Amino acid sequence: MLHSIILSYVTFVYFGAFLLYLIMMVMGRAVFGRLATCVAGGGFLIQTWAIITRWMTSYKMGIGHAPFSNLYESLIFFAWALMLLYLIVEWRTKNRTMGVFVTPLAFLALAYASFSPNISNQIQPLIPALKSNWLIAHVITCFFGYAAFGLSFGLSLMYLIKRVGTGSERNIFLRLIPETGILDILNYQMIAIGFLMLTLGIITGSVWAHSAWGSYWSWDPKETWSLITWLIYASVLHSRMVRGWKGKRIAILCIIGFSCVLFTYFGVNYLAGLHSYAKS
């Protein structure tokens, strides 16, 4: 289908944006940064168009539903949410250095969706359990949460790189990365957004599970791993807000938190559970 082909091309657009951000960081020339933003923004618009087209196509096929129903569609949406959030942060902070760390995540998600032999890009009809208005709310909140944690992961990497490299002022790459204090504040904001969205995602999921499976909490592996992720970020927030932890320790905890997010998203598929439709 046309939109799937276009989505697979967007993969390369994001890779191009990544290269341009990288060239900007290595050569220190702002013009590449502006170009990178244009490419990333263009890719984002094309992706938005493709998602809407896929949505409309499903209605033409008579099995209309929002494109959030399987692994392929969720990966596409994850990349989309990540890019949207990144472009907003870039615009608000007027700083492009984060692009080097975030565009690869979007690129990898799209590449996995488009080129993995195990993932079907067909539009499939909704099975009875997924036929619920909660599907849209649940998927949107969860994936914006994942996207915010993805940005927090990128910021944590930046923080650690900047910390390790303090002193080598001549390195353009390191010099371009914002001050650690700013990274820390931005990281906190991303954790706050991610935590709020993850909580909303868990709550909407519970409300939905209550009507579909008969229980708002069944300790299904995906549920449990989302709770584990929630607990990790809750401890990050407590150590920062109450105990005043800053910087390196928070950055490391955020990287652990994001690996929990990845396990909640992908790793759980290797465990048996109720969320089986998110596997392929």
Distance CA(161)–CA(8), nearest Å, equals: 31
Q: Which residue has the tokens 């494109």?
A: 67
For residue 202, which amino acid is it? I
Stretch that binds other proteins, among 70-78, 105-113, 165-173, 210-218 (CB under 8 A): 210-218
Torsional sign, CA 54, 280, 85, 4: negative
Residues whose CB is less than 8 angstroms from the CB of residue 208 and which lie 6 or more positions away in sequence, other chains included: 132, 134, 135, 138
Minimum CB separation from other proteins for residue 150, in Å? 19
For 279, counting Cβ atoms within 10 Å of its Cβ (0-12 exposed, 13-18 middle, 19+ buried), the class is: middle
Is residue 132 a contact point for other proteins (CB under 8 A)? yes
One of 31, 45, 59, 125 touching other proteins (CB under 8 A)? 125
One of 224, 247, 255, 259 touching other proteins (CB under 8 A)? 224
Is residue 225 a contact point for other proteins (CB under 8 A)? yes
One of 66, 160, 192, 274 touching other proteins (CB under 8 A)? 192
The b/e string for 77-103 (b: 16+ C-beta within 10 A; e otherwise) is: bbbbbbbbbbbebbeeeebbbbbbbbb
One of 203, 252, 255, 262 touching other proteins (CB under 8 A)? 203
Is residue 217 a contact point for other proteins (CB under 8 A)? yes
Is residue 137 a contact point for other proteins (CB under 8 A)? no
Is residue 238 a contact point for other proteins (CB under 8 A)? yes
By CB under 8 A, name the binding residues for other proteins: 63, 124-125, 127-129, 131-132, 185, 192-193, 195-196, 199-200, 203, 206-208, 210-217, 219, 221, 224-225, 227-228, 231-232, 234-235, 238-239, 241-243, 268, 271-272
